Amino acid sequence: MSLEPVPDDLAAASMAYRRALGAFATGVCVMTVDGPGGPVGITANSFASVSLEPRLILWSIALTSERMPAFAAAERFAVHVLRADDAKRADRFARGDCRLTPEDATFAPGFAPRLADVLARLDCAVHARSEVGDHLLVIGRVEDFDTSDGDALTYFRGRYGQASSEIRE
């Protein structure tokens, strides 16, 4: 099997680049914040661990996202790692209704909105922000977290899948 060369046409090169990036399987998260216009969420697969000590994570949001101002203004946010059977919620916050209601999340003073029934949740304070290319990079300091057992929702080449928690020998 050979690799495809980068096309000369700009649009084709952009699509080829997206396909190359899509070859990296990622987990799927929903980020939540209590923004100036109310609580919102957004699906992201740009999540990564930065440091164990101090506990730092990062993720990014497109500068053109209508939800970017809420995340750019907030000092706290939460990361929710989705379960394998939660593609519907991932789709909702990727393209659909992004507003959070009391049926969606719990709200407590000093915390970003918290979604129920997730594989893991990280409550973060903003450590740093930086515009990089066409995205806002957000680095969060993890102040609290919860985790549970189960399989994770993944994203690979434009489709959902799952990562099993079973250990293979």
Question: How many domains does the chain divide into?
Answer: 1
Report the share of the chain in percent with pLDDT over 90: 71
Residue 82 domain-assigned (yes or no): yes
Residue 18 domain-assigned (yes or no): no
Q: What confidence tens digit (pLDDT) does each residue in 105-143 have?
A: 999 899 999 999 999 999 999 999 999 999 999 999 999
Q: Classify each residue of 91-125 as buried b or exposed e, where b means 16 or more C-beta atoms within 10 Å of its C-beta.
A: ebbbeeebebeeebbeeeeebbbbbeebbbbbbbe
State residue 148's pLDDT score: 95
Residue 2 domain-assigned (yes or no): no
pLDDT beneath 50, residues of the chain = none
State residue 30's pLDDT score: 97
Q: Tell me how long the chain is.
A: 169
Residue 156 domain-assigned (yes or no): no
Residue 106 domain-assigned (yes or no): yes
Residue 42 domain-assigned (yes or no): yes
Which residue range forms the structural domain that includes residue 41? 26-148
Residue 32 domain-assigned (yes or no): yes
Report the distance separating Cα 115 and Cα 102, nearest Å. 10
Residue 41 domain-assigned (yes or no): yes
The domain that holds 144 is classified in CATH as: 2.30.110.10
Question: What is the DSSP code (8-state) at residue 72?
Answer: H
pTM here is: 0.89
